[in-house]
Amino acid sequence: MTKVVFYSLVAVGLFTIGFYTLLVEAHLLRKIMALNIMFTSLFLLLIAIAARYPQAIDPLPHAFVLIGILIAVSATALALTLARRIYQETGQTDLSEKQETGIS
When asked if residue 63 is in the footprint of another protein (CB under 8 A), the reply is yes
When asked if residue 64 is in the footprint of another protein (CB under 8 A), the reply is yes
When asked if residue 83 is in the footprint of another protein (CB under 8 A), the reply is no
When asked if residue 13 is in the footprint of another protein (CB under 8 A), the reply is yes
When asked if residue 71 is in the footprint of another protein (CB under 8 A), the reply is yes
Cα-Cα-Cα-Cα dihedral of 71, 74, 77, 80, to 10°? Answer: -60
When asked if residue 73 is in the footprint of another protein (CB under 8 A), the reply is yes
Count of residues binding another protein (CB under 8 A)?
A: 36
CA–CA distances in Å: residue 40 to residues 3, 36, 61, 98, 103:
18, 6, 14, 33, 34
Q: Applying CB under 8 A, which of residues 29, 32, 33, 75 lies at the interface with another protein?
A: 75
Answer for the pair 76, 36: CB distance below 8 angstroms, yes or no. Answer: yes
Half-sphere exposure of 82 (CA within 13 A, CB side): 12
When asked if residue 95 is in the footprint of another protein (CB under 8 A), the reply is no
Q: How far apart are CA 61 and CA 13, in angstroms?
A: 20
Residue numbers of the site for another protein (CB under 8 A)? 5, 8-9, 12-13, 15-16, 19-20, 23-24, 52-53, 56-60, 62-64, 66-67, 70-71, 73-75, 77-78, 80-82, 84-85, 88
